[in-house]
Amino acid sequence: MSQSRARRSGRRAAVLLLAAVLLLVLAGVGTAAAWTTGRLNTLVCGGPCGPEAVADPLALDRSATVSTVRPDEPVAGGLDPAAVAAAVDGPLAADALGGRVAISVVDPVSGEEVLRTGPDALVPASTTKVLTAAAALAVLDPQRRFETTVERDGDRVVLVGGGDPYLAREPEEDDRIARADVRTLAERTAVALREAGVGQVSVGYDASLFTGPVGSAGWEESYLRNQVVTPVTALWVDRGIRDGRRTSDPAREAAGAFAQGLQAEGIDLVGRIAEVSAPGTTPVARVEGPTVAQAVEALTASSSNEASEVMARHVAIAEGEPATFEGAARAIASALSAADVPIDGLRLDDGSGLARSNRIDPTTLSTVLARAAGGRDWPQLLTGLPIGGFTGTLDDRFEDSAAAGAGVVRAKTGTLTGVHSLAGYTLDARGVPVVFAVLADDTEGINPFETQAALDRVAAALASCTCG
């Protein structure tokens, strides 16, 4: 085991204490009370929360600086702009951040932006998912569950895609979300068919909930061809991935898995699986997947491109736009604008951040996260953010010179060739919450690990400063 990994393992004893500290801080700005009384359980867990829903560590080796934060004395906000600017001045000047770097720092208690430097909108990479997730929470019912159904038309059954981003092939346990699967759907369909005296059917599928191209005009031509991302559709299983490979026709693949399930239940199949229009009859069977809130948490934690694009389509539908890349982009912008999030310079050509043509001002990102951290909106947006040095895309970061941020910083990463970003929140040396977004989109030719480490040092500087 590496020395840094050993340090992280040894520090886990401080996890519960310092996770509680962040909850107390959030209580001071309006959310922890709802959490501790259980009022957020249905939002985050879709019902009662089990032990698997307990937040991951939020701080590790900083007990000396936060030990004075007591349950009856939550730390208030009030960031000092001068202190914030002084803390990040050196880290922002690092050569590894290239020629274009911008930062926004917001006090989540007051909502005030206390620092904004650098160019306007930059290439955001996967921090785009922060906006997709916020828009989904803004316009969709967080407790709505994604449904996949089967309709019957005589001797044909039609698998109807409802845009479940996490529909699975087989039943499987998942600590983070409730997963529906087509095997269970086939079992329920077979029961309904036998009750109707039907033992032989043909199988069709309908994925027409989403329209338009399956790939964005802003993506590299090789993305679909080289299986960087699955074609976007309202029907797939396991995000179109099987044995490590992405299928070129995920809807047909899902229908094939469903048909195999029917055969396993003793239903005879005739004819070929065909793409058809659903008859519009009452479903004979259905399965329910995760809630919107669970899906948002999961896609934020894993940075799933496929799930993000599906969620963007649902935002489009909710906003009365076509369920296309273009419609989703307009809908996300509209949803954020309606929620009083500044969207100056915003350009989106997808919901995942793969499009290099995307542009987001860091102020837009920090405002969204501050609204969530301040308890005003979208608390589920925070629960999936990776933890510096421990989970997700930050698992192997915040070491050495940036170690002050390990366990304290929670943030969404973004990475494309020559593009790196980090947007999230932390606690300063007094336990005061700080929200930040820092983007660098001119780093081609620089070792990407050096750029990531430089971004980590910016966030770590906020975690170690006395900014409030």
CA–CA distance, 333 with 344 (Å, rounded to integer): 10
**Beta pairing partners, 158:** 151, 204
Report yes or no: 59 and 21 within 8 Å, Cβ to Cβ: yes
Least Cα distance to 221 among 415, 414, 353, 356 occurs for 356
**Beta pairing partners, 159:** 150, 205
In one letter, which amino acid is 169? Answer: R
Report yes or no: 122 and 102 within 8 Å, Cβ to Cβ: yes
275 CB-contact burial (10 Å; exposed 0-12 / middle 13-18 / buried 19+): middle
Q: Would residue 129 show up in a list of annotated catalytic residues for this protein? A: yes
Q: From the candidates 104, 129, 304, 366, which is the catalytic residue?
A: 129
Q: From the candidates 126, 216, 304, 352, which is the catalytic residue?
A: 126
DSSP 73: S
Query: In degrees rounded to 5, what are phi and psi of residue 112?
Result: -80, 135
Sign of CA dihedral 154, 184, 304, 329: positive
CA–CA distance, 384 with 366 (Å, rounded to integer): 16
Torsion of CA 42, 292, 284, 191, to 10 degrees: -60
Q: Which residues contact 339 (CB under 8 A, 6 or more apart)?
A: 134, 138, 371, 377
- 446-453 LR contacts (CB < 8 Å, sep 24+): 446/95, 446/96, 446/98, 447/96, 448/415, 448/420, 450/96, 451/96, 451/97, 451/98, 451/420, 452/397, 452/413, 452/415, 452/420, 453/96, 453/397, 453/400, 453/401, 453/402
Q: Would residue 303 show up in a list of annotated catalytic residues for this protein? A: yes
Q: Which residues contact 41 (CB under 8 A, 6 or more apart)?
A: 47, 48, 49
Q: Which residues contact 134 (CB under 8 A, 6 or more apart)?
A: 335, 336, 339, 341, 368, 371, 372, 377, 378, 381
Report yes or no: 183 and 192 within 8 Å, Cβ to Cβ: no
Q: From the candidates 202, 216, 303, 464, which is the catalytic residue?
A: 303
CA–CA distance, 180 with 170 (Å, rounded to integer): 8
Report yes or no: 66 and 403 within 8 Å, Cβ to Cβ: no
Strands (DSSP E) found in 302-409:
none
CA–CA distance, 61 with 4 (Å, rounded to integer): 13
Residues annotated as catalytic (active site), given as ranges: 126, 129, 303
